[in-house]
Amino acid sequence: MTLNQPPLRLLIVEDQVDLAENLFEFLGEDRYILDFAADGLTALHLLSTQSYDVVVLDLMLPGVNGYDICRRIRQDLQCQTPIILMTALSALNDKEKGFDCGADDYLVKPFELRELQLRIEALHRRYSPQRPVLAAGDIRFDPGTLEVELRGSKTVLSGTPARLFELLVRAYPSFLSHEALSDVLWGARHGETEGNSLRTHIYTLRKSLQAGLGSSLVKTIHGRGYRLEVPEKENTDTP
């Protein structure tokens, strides 16, 4: 990684604390922005609310195993972030199962930490050009940088509001129901608490867009959900 490149954002999914600590120490937060999840469900929540460059996923996790988590990342979250599986399972059929679940790379334990770093950076180089800017009318959204542009005005989102905005851009011009948005963010077992959180995140998103672009962009479909509303261009013609 060169000095003029922004640090990569990595999600490390590993339940062995000693290995996770070694990864954090070696990769170093001065070179990478690192998040940690000790189980698959936490990883799914982070991936539904944050944007990462690469996911490093252990297969032998408590509760839901890495194969199922990898499959849910691809199918349920519709997330194409590169995934490296790491495991002590070295048989060919184990590797085949991992790739069938949607993994991009497979690293057998024990391994040199430098090798993992090389694989992370190789995957990022390979896949980063394949994250196209999304468009909804005059709105442009870059899923990589989380930057929103509207007719020359720009702002950068973060966290759950950024994830919500991406979902709304992809759905445009249709709306997304409260339930559909909550399913993506918190899974199918969400309840009233998550419904209140959704409204809070929508409020935060609107506030950020209004401050940066001069328009909140998100319209409430009462009793149903939300959709993007592209503001009309101002008429600058003189009479």
C-beta separation of 155 from 213 below 8 A:
yes
Same domain membership, residue 52 and residue 33: yes
The arithmetic mean of pLDDT across residues 149-159, rounded, is: 91
Encode burial over 224-233: b for 16+ CB neighbours within 10 A, e otherwise.
ebbbbbbeee
- Which pLDDT score, from 0 to 100, does residue 2 have? 37
Q: What is the CATH number of the domain that holds 69?
A: 3.40.50.2300
pLDDT surpasses 80 at 9: yes
The arithmetic mean of pLDDT across residues 16-23, rounded, is: 89
Task: Name the range with the highest mean pLDDT among 20-29, 31-40, 213-222.
Answer: 213-222
Q: Provide the Cα torsion 165, 34, 182, 70; round to 10°.
A: 110
In a domain, 24, yes or no: yes
Same domain membership, residue 171 and residue 200: yes
User: Counting beta carbons within 10 angstroms of the beta carbon of residue 186, is it exposed (0 to 12), middle (13 to 18) or buried (19 or more)?
Assistant: buried
Same domain membership, residue 177 and residue 65: no
Same domain membership, residue 93 and residue 34: yes
Same domain membership, residue 189 and residue 210: yes
pLDDT surpasses 60 at 238: no
In a domain, 91, yes or no: yes
Percentage helix, strand, coil for the chain under 3-state DSSP, each rounded to 5: 45, 20, 35
The arithmetic mean of pLDDT across residues 79-97, rounded, is: 93
Same domain membership, residue 210 and residue 161: yes
In a domain, 93, yes or no: yes
C-beta separation of 143 from 166 below 8 A:
yes
How many Å apart are CA 115 and CA 45, to the nearest integer?
28
In a domain, 2, yes or no: no
How many Å apart are CA 186 and CA 45, to the nearest integer?
6
The arithmetic mean of pLDDT across residues 91-114, rounded, is: 94
C-beta separation of 82 from 123 below 8 A:
yes
Give residue 141's domain range.
134-228
Q: What is the pLDDT of residues 218-229, one digit of tens each?
A: 999 999 999 999
- Which pLDDT score, from 0 to 100, does residue 196 have? 79
Task: Name the range with the highest mean pLDDT among 62-66, 133-137, 206-210.
Answer: 206-210
Q: What is the CATH number of the domain that holds 196?
A: 1.10.10.10
> Confidence band (pLDDT; 50, 70, 90) for 232?
confident
Same domain membership, residue 153 and residue 66: no
How many Å apart are CA 76 and CA 183, to the nearest integer?
9
**Which residue, of 68, 103, 130, is where some domain finishes?**
130
In a domain, 238, yes or no: no
Report how many domains make up the chain: 2
> Confidence band (pLDDT; 50, 70, 90) for 1?
very low
**Which residue, of 95, 130, 165, is where some domain finishes?**
130
CA 147 to chain centre: 14
Average pLDDT in the chain = 86
Q: Provide the H-helix boundaries in the chain.
A: 17-27, 40-49, 66-75, 92-100, 113-127, 159-171, 178-186, 192-213
